[in-house]
Structure 1
Amino acid sequence: LLCCLVYPPLRDITLTALQDAFFQVSVFVAATLYIYYHLIERIPQLELSYLANKSPTLEIFFAALLGALPGCGGAIIVVTQFTKGQASFGAIVGVLTATMGDAAFLLLATKPIEGLIIMAIGLVVGVTSGVLVNIIHKKDYLRPNASDQLADCVTQPTKAVRLSKSVWKVAIIPSLIVAILIALNTDFNAFSPKLTQMITFFGALMAMLAVTTWAFSSKGKSYQDVASEEECPSPPSTLYKVLQDTHFVTAWVVVSFMLFEILVNFFGFDLKLWFSHYVYLAPLIAVLIGFLPGCGPQIIVTTLYIQ
């Protein structure tokens, strides 16, 4: 990323990708996770393991409902629960089938009726898929061993995470306000071109902070270290857990945004041309794009639909 920022032909592309990753994804992920973790502390009944013991179908429904909500946060919550051995494989299938990620914000802001219809369809298909998967497979199918995940547990957050926490505490509220305005297609140029430039640099700086913190937090010895998602069973604070998940997601989203921008600007990859010239293959093309990690590709396809 630093090399891309230094190289003039890639500088603007990189700044835009970093800004989009932060304001379109990272901020909403952090806000959603923070709300959920606080709710879990006060209402333990919202834990997927508790719901699964009451009713497997209820677990799937709640997982799919989290996925149907706008943003990536719901999906990340369920995946995290699964890696800790507290959710079934059906819950994973349900949430990932139901989710639109951050593309939901864009769709709801521009075409609210279509957005709500797609969310409802995603919820129904997600619940159905999750229930069928749990009927076919055992509850612990592909579930990681929780004890293995905690084998190399770090007792305290790294210095990088502590520094990041201090910055996020100050930046989260103004960042969320800007992110909501961007999701509502607000034209900041109408106020001042300098304001747009300031927002771009701020978003890029925060995205770089997230990616750098994630890189310095990972020892790479286990899945837990590589993801930098989970602290010990009793982490120092909820905010540390939120930031670790957010940093991990940000890294993947930045990668997907950068890859797409490079393909478009340097290799002539034109999605709009693909969809117009190969109409009969449009659903398959969209599915393949959906396989790419992060919300970026989904947001791009949703933008093409809106246009």
Structure 2
Amino acid sequence: MAELAEIFVASVRDGYVQVSAFVAVTVLLFSLVQYRTGGALIERLSENERLQPLAGAAMGLTPGCGGAIVMMPLYVRGTVSFGTVVATLIATAGDSAFVILALAPKAAVYAYGIAFGTAIVSGYVIDRFGVGVGRVDAAVRRIDGTATDGGAIASGNPAAGPHDFESDDACHHSDGPVRESPLLTPLSRAAHALWWVAAVAALALGVTYLLAGAPEVPLEVGPSFAGLFTVVGITGTTLSFYLYFVGRRYLGDGQVGRARESFAGAREALVHAAMETSFVTVWVLAAYLLYEYGVVLLGVDVGGLAAAAGLLAPIAGALVGLIPGCGPQIVLAGVYAEGAIPFSALTANAISQDGDALFPLLAVDRTAAVVASVYTTIPALFVGVGLHLLFGPMFGFGVLG
């Protein structure tokens, strides 16, 4: 029991300092750019048709799902091509990127660099040649009986590009009614302010930790580096859980995983960044505990299983990427950071995963979303298996410590 408790406390601490602090900075910077430009950056992207797949891949490459999510409404409105959608989704780093960037930055550079190159090639090939998109669309229609226009790919000219959609309200970020409470409203505002204090402190501690070579940090409380590491980490994670499960309903940003096209003010950007980061914190903790408790309680040698799996490892990584959302991908990234799955599986997952970006497209054009998922998985399988055959499994490649 003592060992299980120590694992829990260490996971609560490490997840916030090693991952969440870096998430907060990235999401806040992206949100502030949107606020300062009033969404003009996104509008300019839609005006350059020849550069759309490249721009989509670049937007998808930004850590988190924000850059990818904002591209989906542009497709629905008919301003970017289907190839751009696929390029965006292939390059989507998702929230798992924060885990890899923090714990295995070298692996992140290579994995997401390969995904970026794959995204650009795939996007332009689809826009130019179609590569059987119409046939895949027809197959999906036999499975999916819902009434949907199917996007540009259903028109008989798969390379024709975007389609028009009369109402894109389903893609707009909607906070819903903000709840008011004489107790929880001021408490949530205080928690939000304290959360940012913890985030700034955690960022300083996290940078120091990485510059020191990611050493083992003992669990202790006090004025020392290890003591501050522990106190700030536990405080930040606790506040993140409160904001995610309670506070977001009283701060005006009730939905997570949905990018904002613009913000009314800097406060909205701060709240949005805190909510998105709190969501990541919850999943990162789940990933840490799932792996650590699985090893201790079940005695499972995950590394041994992955090594025995051979070519099945990158195939499994690509198939996990088919699951919408960032949760499963964060779990996989955490397991990679533990040295338990090969680099080929991480790269296959980086290419295949769509993160939260698929949800806006699913809401208004399910067929196009399913077809896009198929077209992100195919190159993931080829690249993942190819890497495994050429360079071997490469366990622990780029992992700090």
TM-score range, shorter chain: 0.7 to 0.9
Mapped contact 1:60–1:130 kept (Cα < 8 A)? yes
CA positional deviation for 1:229: 6.0
Match of 2:273 in 1: 242
User: Aligned partner of 1:276: which letter?
Assistant: A
Q: 1:154 aligns with which of 169, 175, 178?
A: 178
CA positional deviation for 1:228: 8.1
Mapped contact 1:57–1:131 kept (Cα < 8 A)? no
CA positional deviation for 1:233: 6.3
CA positional deviation for 1:266: 1.5
Match of 1:202 in 2: 232
Match of 2:256 in 1: 227
Q: In 2, distance between residues paired with 1:306 and 1:147?
A: 39
Q: In 2, distance between residues paired with 1:266 and 1:57?
A: 54
Q: In 2, distance between residues paired with 1:42 and 1:35?
A: 10
Q: Give unmatched runs, 5+ long, in structure 2.
A: 77-81, 134-150, 153-161, 340-394
Match of 2:244 in 1: 214
After superposition, the Cα gap between the structure-2 partners of 1:62 and 1:183, relative to the gap in structure 1 and judged at 3 Å, is farther
Q: In 2, distance between residues paired with 1:229 and 1:160?
A: 25
| 1:283 has 2:307 as partner | no
Match of 1:258 in 2: 289
Q: Which has the higher helix share?
A: 1
Aligned length: 286
User: Aligned partner of 1:295: which letter?
Assistant: I
Mapped contact 2:60–2:88 kept (Cα < 8 A)? yes
TM-score under structure 1 length normalisation: 0.73
| 1:306 has 2:337 as partner | no
CA positional deviation for 1:230: 7.3
Q: In 2, distance between residues paired with 1:174 and 1:120?
A: 30
Match of 1:48 in 2: 42
After superposition, the Cα gap between the structure-2 partners of 1:39 and 1:148, relative to the gap in structure 1 and judged at 3 Å, is closer
Q: 2:191 aligns with which of 164, 170, 180?
A: 164
Kindly report the root-mean-square deviation, in angstroms, between the aligned alpha carbons of the 2 structures. Answer: 3.9
Q: In 2, distance between residues paired with 1:123 and 1:167?
A: 37
Structure with max Cα Rg: 2
TM-score under structure 2 length normalisation: 0.58
Mapped contact 2:13–2:233 kept (Cα < 8 A)? yes
Mapped contact 1:252–1:294 kept (Cα < 8 A)? no
CA positional deviation for 1:65: 2.2
Mapped contact 1:19–1:203 kept (Cα < 8 A)? yes
- Secondary structure of the structure 2 residue equivalent to 1:118: helix
Map 1:44-83 onto structure 2 (within 5 A).
Answer: 44=38, 47-52=41-46, 54-56=47-49, 58-69=51-62, 72-73=63-64, 75-79=65-69, 81=70
CA positional deviation for 1:45: 6.7
| 1:104 has 2:101 as partner | yes
Match of 1:269 in 2: 300
After superposition, the Cα gap between the structure-2 partners of 1:276 and 1:14, relative to the gap in structure 1 and judged at 3 Å, is same
- Secondary structure of the structure 1 residue equivalent to 2:328: coil
Q: 1:123 aligns with which of 116, 120, 123?
A: 116
CA positional deviation for 1:188: 5.7
- Secondary structure of the structure 1 residue equivalent to 2:32: helix
User: Aligned partner of 1:217: which letter?
Assistant: G
After superposition, the Cα gap between the structure-2 partners of 1:64 and 1:18, relative to the gap in structure 1 and judged at 3 Å, is farther
After superposition, the Cα gap between the structure-2 partners of 1:96 and 1:296, relative to the gap in structure 1 and judged at 3 Å, is farther
- Secondary structure of the structure 1 residue equivalent to 2:246: helix
- Secondary structure of the structure 2 residue equivalent to 1:152: coil
Deviations 1:7-49 (A, max 9, x none): 7553222222222321233211210111122222334576334
Q: In 2, distance between residues paired with 1:90 and 1:217?
A: 39
| 1:145 has 2:139 as partner | no
CA positional deviation for 1:67: 3.9
Match of 2:205 in 1: 178
Q: In 2, distance between residues paired with 1:201 and 1:250?
A: 16
Match of 1:4 in 2: none
Match of 2:13 in 1: 19
- Secondary structure of the structure 1 residue equivalent to 2:120: helix
Q: Give unmatched runs, 5+ long, in structure 1.
A: 1-6
User: Aligned partner of 2:169: which letter?
Assistant: N
CA positional deviation for 1:263: 2.0
| 1:10 has 2:4 as partner | yes
Q: In 2, distance between residues paired with 1:264 and 1:67?
A: 33
Match of 2:215 in 1: 187
